[in-house]
Structure 1
């Protein structure tokens, strides 16, 4: 308001001093820049947008998807069902009030998924914030008090009270990181563009920043280190105080904090083209700020990259807590804190394997479970839900992310089928 008042006062002074002729010349230079929808929303003004893009639920498509789900293998007592049809469904954020689940994509849409009658099947899927243009809005995350953050390719916006405002086409929205300021403009790429975010126990916003290469050239490393490309950055929720929290990461597309001790865990996709069985994918445990996880000196696990095999790696490299199967594309992950599943799953990690693309025999397309001990060490990692990859190598689905609903069931997104599945126990 103070800024607007100063602007009005300045404009009045200028117009008085210019006179009519000078004013005519000024106006002849062209109209002022039109206010963007984002600027209007930030001032709680309407944009004029009234229509939602709505996704039809049920019908023949839903029946076909459920037919595939009938083939999925799960431990005894569990069952999987279709929760929602959501085009290009990627990472998810479940609202803290249990009202809406926000689903990102690698395209231009963000979806709001609502189960109004609480029968554990979505009744409505519609575009979130239709007056805003998104660019690869892959990563939504909620704060405990209901602020929604969406990490795009090169921007971060916040939507206060999104769980209640999402019913309107106009949703209050503000910049956390303006367009072009999350990474350098010259480093924007079509590769490794999917960001994910999470609010940490410290109240700060954590964002993964995959670097764009299979293995980057040495001259890129200093710039990447400065910006946190090939790492994880954290900042205050207003965008201030940005710092690089994690180094030596190739392309993480999944992170969560251990509720038992606040430690950060994250998946990492490792170097392609080194062979079917190397290097391993990674599930990493970070115990302190500033740790280095070895990329690009290591391509995954303890496997050195060809490009950096003759160079001395950092002395303090942290190796993965779990070496996952090579090229399975480990993406979203979550610590299970629900009460529906048996006690053996409490505090463990569910993670999604998207499935390989550069392996002679495909692997992945499943949900994994890793048990985590009270001291933070890991137990066994085993398949939990599988069957989206046939023996003939055909993908019937490609899991991306996993989240827990308030009732303790697990939801799984699939960007190939364009759907969200729900896994429940004993019900």
Structure 2
């Protein structure tokens, strides 16, 4: 009988297993509230131009905070928490990317950018909304002190400008600024970590420094004003009006603009107080828009309808420039008024665009001419003849 010795070969495999660690973090500090500084005497022009900078603080001192964790790895991260969950707007200006967070006040936004030396670019792109900007990572237990000095910019963003309070100030609440510790799954933040340092909407994070921002602005409108003007075009018998139009009449008007305080204040701070400030952009140039209250009959010739309360078969023709320069009869004006379109004043008048001195009172006469104009294929009816246009003028 044969006997066999059978050897059984066993493969013993040892697989590495990940062990989740509960990381305990400490230090940090209690949540704080910060009001952005400004002087009531600060004057800046704000109009409808979207994504224009209103006020820039070169460096807000968010303070120092000591961070410590008993295990690693862990990272120091920064992010922002939007107001009422409002999504930030991505915008690029002068080669810098911004994430602009809507504030509690309609039409006003706010962004944070790092100004830490040695980081390129400086300032760096804005903080994300609840998405961490990782500064540095530590492999194990350690203690470190963090300083933060973000550049804060206030912006004009889409939306009508909110109402001022009883003191004439546009008050707002901005996004919150967060310095935090973040750990990586499967590790978690231990419940033994000191509480009370602020909200932590970022998963696997522990908030070390939470700052809620508020602020206020004194803004001057960019819109100019002028007294209502009534232009008498004359009293005509239908047969006495040379075909197709009456004589030109002066319809010029004078705009009076608010003091030219410029826009885009830049403030340098010391101990979070304004040390010096300057105006980035001086007010320059005027924009004009003519909005008719009646139907546009011929946009290429600058003709609008009468108001329909009397005479028919005629419209009112408007043209830029002095009466003496306008053509007679069927001639088309060199500069007919283009309705519902914003135009630079220097393109329609003898006005010369320039940068105004800060605080300068700006008054400008704009030449315009008007006349009755016969409308083709419309029956003539006698009666009062009138039409109305609205003039909108503001700084460029």
Higher helix content, 1 or 2: 1
- TM-score using structure 2 length: 0.22
Q: Using CA pairs under 8 Å that are at least 6 residues apart, name the structure with larger relative contact order, 1 or 2.
A: 2
- TM-score using structure 1 length: 0.21
Greater gyration radius:
2
Higher strand content, 1 or 2: 2
